[in-house]
Chains A and B, each alone.
Chain A
Amino acid sequence: MSKERLLTITNQSQNLSEVRQVVAEMLDPSGFDRRQTNEIILAVDEGLANVVEHAYQGGVGEVNLIFGLDEETFRVHIRDNGIRFEPNELRDAVDIHAHIKKGLKGGLGLFLMKRIMDDVYYTHDGPDYVNELVMVKKVPAVSGEAS
Chain B
Amino acid sequence: MPDLKLHQEMLPTGVAYIEAEGFLDAHTFEDMDNLVQAVFRQGAHKLIVRLEKLDYISSAGAGVFVGSVGQARENGGDIVFLRPSASVKEVFDLLGLTAIFRFAETREDAEGCF
A3 → B minimal CB distance (Å): 24
Residues of B within 8 A of A (CB): 1-2, 23, 25-27, 33, 56, 58-60, 62-64, 66-71, 87, 90-91, 94-97, 100
By the criterion CB–CB under 8 Å, are B71 and A45 in contact? Answer: no
Interface set, chain A 65-122, CB cutoff 8 A to B: 94, 96-97, 99-109, 111-112, 115-116
Q: Decide if A13 is an interface residue (CB 8 Å cutoff).
A: yes
Number of chain A residues close to chain B: CB under 8 A: 32
* 18 A-B pairs whose Cβ atoms sit less than 8 Å apart in the complex: A13-B26, A17-B27, A20-B56, A45-B58, A49-B26, A49-B59, A49-B60, A53-B26, A94-B95, A96-B66, A99-B63, A99-B67, A100-B66, A104-B63, A104-B67, A105-B66, A106-B59, A108-B95
A-B contact count (CB 8 A): 85
CA A45 – CA B97 in complex, angstroms?
19
Given A99-B66, A100-B100, A101-B70, A109 contacting B87 (CB threshold 8 A): no
